[in-house]
Amino acid sequence: MEVLSVQSELLDQAQGESFAAIPGGAHRDLLEGEYWRFIPGFRSVGEAEFHTHQFQQKATVTSVAQLRETLGNLPGEAFYEDLAAGVRNAPMAIRISPHLLSLIDWSDPARDPIRTQFLPLRSHQQPDHPMLRLDSLAERKDSPVPGLTHRYPDKALFLPVDTCPVYCRFCTRSYAVGADTEVVGEKLKLHASQTRWEEAFRYIESMPGLEDIVVSGGDSYNLKADHLEAIGRRLLEIPHVRRIRFATKGLCVMPQKVLSDARWTDALTRVVEEARRLHKTAVVHTHFNSPGEIVDVTRRAMNLLVERGITVRCQTVLQMGVNSDASVMQLLVRRLGYVNIQPYYVYFHDMVPGVEDLRTSLAEGLEVEKRVRGTTAGFHTPAFVVDTMGGGGKRDAHSYEYYDRSSGVSVFTSPSVKPGEWFFYFDPLSTLEPEIRQRWEVESERRGMLAEAVGRAGGDARSARESLASWS
Ligand SMILES: *Cc1c(COP(=O)(O)O)cnc(C)c1O
Ligand code: SF4
């Protein structure tokens, strides 16, 4: 008896310690109150006004000059200079909501995870990896109609608009999304146009294998209520379409809209109800990257969606300094679960221009994955995926065929999407030894490293040559 109780006490203690390693109740600790009042430009804005989509849209900051007007000398002059130089060197124009601006720690903006995602600093930018491509996932190659990517057998990605309520520095679709910038001059234009949409719907109709449509963008938040409803109903009417998802970063950027824009939220609700009536599903996919983005007003917006029976899942991007620390990712995952958002994916950072400082190596991300799995319910544990270079699609990060930690090359196959081809991911050069970095600068050395990796992965010379042809 005595021994048993001592043992169980020891066990309790040990468990107490290991459970303490998981942030105890921190995930339930959501920021409340008037968190915007310390921003000079929002000092006189009351709660009733701040928590409306009209205010959030009207006061959205889209230039360095406007940021300066809003923040005054909250950050120092050096910050504004660094930012202005960063913007000139970035693929995405800036656009950030008052809600997100107010959640930045302005006493240390250089290290703040929200600042990191939306406001580029020149001093943090690194040269792009030599293997980088503007449309790194080769989405345009798999587009039968402009704004529709059909890469997987039963699902397609539909881009009805090319604008978002915010512009993320790291957007994979910087080839299309947002205003033209000095770095990406003429972007592919995907304006809201019913004629273009109808072309996409007809294509979907002509493909009986398509069961799952992602309505993305851009962002579904930027669809007018009646457009959102019309798109939803038109897709649900197609007999073979069984599932639709509306992708929006809105819940992170301005949760206020769900609460105050009744026309939009009601339109979404009607589509979800129509889907249910037809025994199909319509859900929302959203995008949070750091735990500080989820506050009390987010929970209130989610509560409304929960009451309406709307499923929300989250796709997170793994980013250095934002969520690359396992304890931060654990907190994010548990906080998402707490507000009833299901963590679905964590993407390794795509290789897009101007964001090399945000990428992690495959090894670093896999380490985070190992620590996240096991902290909460399996159905709230995101899959860590790599959207491979060249159009192989998303692969479980653990499923690489070969990974050379020293050259940073990982090789994947995608037997159900592009059988017989080889696909790649490349660790950031900053994680490699100096002599390897130099090899990456030389064209023939690059080809050599790729060919060697494919060979080690088990590729024969011919298929390796074919896969590599597009990488010269
Ligand atoms: C991500 C993506 C989808 C959806 O993929 P899931 O793994 O089902 O989330 C569909 N089409 C394209 C082109 C995509 O990139
Ligand atoms: S919300 Fe999505 S599509 Fe829009 S800029 Fe951000 S990552 Fe790109």
Evaluate whether 317 touches 289 at the Cβ level (below 8 Å). Answer: yes
296 vs 178, higher pLDDT: 296
Mean pLDDT computed over 67-80: 96
pLDDT digits (tens, 9 = 90+) for 232-277: 999 999 999 999 999 999 999 999 999 999 999 999 999 999 999 9
According to the model, what pLDDT value does residue 263 have? 98
Q: How many CB atoms lie within 10 A of CB 364?
A: 17
Give residue 195's pLDDT.
87
Are the CB atoms for 166 and 215 separated by under 8 Å?
no
More confident residue, 19 or 99: 99
CA of 154 to the centre of ligand 1 (A): 10
Cα(93)–Cα(180) distance, rounded to whole angstroms? 7
- Residue spans of the domains in the chain: they are 1-397, 400-472
Ligand 2: atom nearest CA of 249 is 1
Q: pLDDT tens for residues 346-394?
A: 999 988 888 899 999 999 999 999 999 999 999 999 999 999 887 788 9
Q: Which residue did the predictor score with more confidence, 337 or 191?
A: 337
Q: Which ligand is nearest to the CA of 187?
A: 2
Segment 425-443 mean pLDDT: 95
* H/E element, 127: none
Burial class (CB in 10 A: 0-12, 13-18, 19+), 346: buried
How far apart CA 56 and CA 253 sit, in angstroms, is 9
pLDDT band at 136 (very low <50, low <70, confident <90, very high): low
Atom of ligand 2 nearest to the CA of 167: 5
Non-local (6+) Cβ contacts of 352 within 8 A are 91, 132, 134, 136, 170, 171, 172, 174
Model pLDDT, residue 354: 85
Confidence (pLDDT) at 223: 94
pLDDT band at 1 (very low <50, low <70, confident <90, very high): very low
Report CA Rg, the chain.
23
- Whether residue 339 is predicted with pLDDT greater than 90 in this model: the reply is yes
State if residue 159 touches ligand 1 by the CB under 6 angstroms criterion.
Answer: no
Tell me what pLDDT residue 108 has.
Answer: 96
Looking at residue 308, its amino acid is R
pLDDT over threshold 70, residue 13:
no
Per-residue pLDDT band at 179 (split at 50, 70, 90): low
Residue with tokens 């909250």, as numbered in its chain:
74
For residue range 108-121, list pLDDT tens digits in order. Answer: 999 999 999 999 99
For the Cβ of 335 lying below 6 angstroms from any atom of ligand 1, the answer is no
Say how far apart CA 177 and CA 115 lie, in whole Å.
Answer: 20
Band (pLDDT 50/70/90 cuts) for residue 6 is very low
User: Cα 245–248–249 angle (5° rounding)?
Assistant: 145
- In angstroms, the CA 259 to CA 264 distance is 10
Predicted pLDDT of residue 244: 98
Measuring from atom 8 of ligand 2, which residue has the nearest CA?
171
The residue whose CA has the least distance to atom 6 of ligand 2 is 168
Which residues sit with their C-beta closer than 6 Å to ligand 2? 164, 166-168, 171, 173, 177, 217-219, 249
How far apart are the CA of 219 and the centre of ligand 1, in A?
Answer: 15
Answer left, alpha or beta for residue 217, where phi above 0 means left and psi between -120 and 50 means alpha.
left
Task: Please state the φ and ψ torsions of residue 70, each to the nearest 5 degrees.
Answer: -80, -40
- Give the pLDDT band of residue 296 (cuts 50, 70, 90): very high
pLDDT of residue 55: 98
Q: With contact defined as beta carbons under 8 Å apart, do 241 and 280 qualify?
A: yes
For the CA of 144, the nearest ligand: 1
How far is ligand 1, taken at its centre, from the CA of residue 152, in Å?
7
183 lines ligand 1 (CB under 6 A): no
pTM of the model: 0.92
Ligand 2 center–CA 444 separation, angstroms = 35
Using left for φ > 0, alpha for ψ between -120 and 50, and beta otherwise, residue 186 falls in beta
- Measured from the CA of 217, which atom of ligand 2 is nearest? 3
In Å, how far are 23, 99, 304, 359 from 114, measured between CA atoms? 21, 11, 25, 16
The answer to whether residue 465 scores a pLDDT higher than 90 is no
Strands 342-347 and 383-388: parallel
Question: How far apart are alpha carbons 415 and 258 in whole angstroms?
Answer: 40
Query: Could you tell me which CATH number the domain at 1-397 has?
Result: 3.20.20.70
